[in-house]
């Protein structure tokens, strides 16, 4: 029987040559404490859980994004943004605050700067915990390094309207729900993306998270649940 899922949004998602359902999430059946304090403790185990990292290709530009956590009524929530329709790449997609790493800038400093520029959260309020596995995007030729951090309490957001249409705090517990998360195996026959690879989706009531952001969220949820990807 097909699993019920929430409506999702109007994000434009490409169609693969072939697709097949991947079944339940790898964390299926596991209970977890989603309180921010518990999540912070789980982040300390990251090194023993993630796989081998990669290196950027010669034609890729290095970017940093910020997965920012804060406490909410249902436990830890993560800050997501919807990219403006005026952006040249990934317009209208749900993403983390982030962007290119400037020359001489560290990954962490870039993620803090971009978070300030895009949503107005100053660096001095942010506690950085760890980095997740880097990943490459085919459309924008980016090598993205996710930084996971937290703030002690939510602050008013000041959105950069040129880059961000919307910002939303989403509980990790909501992202892990069976009607929110799904994943499939996709095959692309005639493109730079060859072979079968997993694709992750988070269907909210009015947005769909997919692509690189969904892959990062999947790794974070695996870490929180104490399972390997």
CA-based end-to-end distance of the chain: 25
pTM of structure: 0.91
Q: How far apart are CA 101 and CA 119, in angstroms?
A: 17
- 157 vs 116, 166, 209, 218, 227, CA distance in Å? 9, 10, 21, 25, 33
Task: Report pLDDT for 57.
Answer: 72
Which secondary-structure segment (H or E) carries 43? helix 36-43
Task: Report pLDDT for 47.
Answer: 58
The number of angstroms, rounded, from the C-alpha of 3 to the middle of its chain's C-alpha atoms is 23
Q: Residue 193: is its pLDDT beyond 80?
A: no
Q: What percent of the chain has pLDDT over 70?
A: 89
Question: How wide is the angle at C-alpha 91 spanned by C-alphas 114 and 149, nearest 5°?
Answer: 30
Q: Residue 88: is its pLDDT beyond 70?
A: no
Task: Report pLDDT for 50.
Answer: 42
Q: What is the mean predicted confidence (pLDDT) over 201-218?
A: 96
Q: What is the mean predicted confidence (pLDDT) over 194-206?
A: 91
**Structural domain boundaries in the chain:** 18-225
Residues forming beta bridges with residue 102, ordered by sequence position: none
For residue 32, what is the DSSP state? -
State the Cα torsion 186-202-112-165 to the nearest 10°.
110
Long-range CB contacts (< 8 A, 24+ apart) of 85-92?
Answer: 85/165, 86/162, 87/163, 89/139, 89/140, 90/139, 90/140, 90/211, 92/10, 92/11, 92/12, 92/165
Task: Report pLDDT for 101.
Answer: 94
By CB atoms closer than 10 A (0-12, 13-18, 19+), residue 119 is buried
How is domain 18-225 classified at the CATH fold level?
Nucleoside Triphosphate Pyrophosphohydrolase (3.90.79)
Q: How far apart are CA 65 and CA 149, in angstroms?
A: 10
Q: How far apart are CA 141 and CA 186, in angstroms?
A: 20
100-133 per-position pLDDT tens digit: 999 999 999 999 999 999 999 999 999 999 999 9
Q: Residue 1: is its pLDDT beyond 50?
A: no
33-84 per-position pLDDT tens digit: 999 999 998 887 665 444 445 677 777 889 999 999 999 999 999 999 998 8
133-151 per-position pLDDT tens digit: 999 887 667 899 999 999 9
Q: What is the mean predicted confidence (pLDDT) over 176-181?
A: 96
Task: Report pLDDT for 49.
Answer: 40
């Amino acid at each position: 029987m097909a699993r019920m899922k929430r409506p999702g949004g109007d994000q434009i998602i490409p169609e693969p040559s072939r697709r097949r359902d991947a079944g339940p999430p790898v964390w299926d059946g596991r209970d977890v404490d989603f309180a921010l304090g518990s999540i912070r403790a789980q982040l300390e185990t990251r090194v023993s859980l993630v796989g081998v990292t990669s290196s950027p290709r010669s034609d890729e530009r290095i970017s940093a994004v910020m997965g920012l956590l804060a406490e909410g009524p249902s436990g830890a929530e993560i800050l997501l943004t919807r990219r403006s329709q005026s952006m040249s790449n990934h317009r209208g997609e749900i993403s983390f605050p982030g962007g290119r790493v400037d020359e001489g800038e560290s990954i962490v400093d870039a993620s803090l700067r971009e978070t300030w520029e895009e949503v107005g959260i100053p660096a001095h309020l942010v506690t950085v915990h760890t980095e997740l596995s880097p990943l490459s995007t085919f459309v924008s030729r980016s090598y993205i390094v996710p930084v996971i951090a937290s703030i002690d309490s939510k602050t008013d957001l000041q959105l950069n309207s040129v880059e961000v249409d919307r910002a939303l705090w989403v509980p990790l517990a909501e992202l892990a729900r069976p009607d929110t998360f799904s994943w499939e195996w996709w095959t692309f026959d005639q493109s730079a993306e060859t072979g079968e690879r997993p694709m992750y989706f988070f269907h909210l009531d009015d947005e769909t998270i997919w692509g690189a952001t969904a892959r990062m969220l999947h790794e974070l949820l695996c870490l929180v649940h104490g399972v390997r990807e």
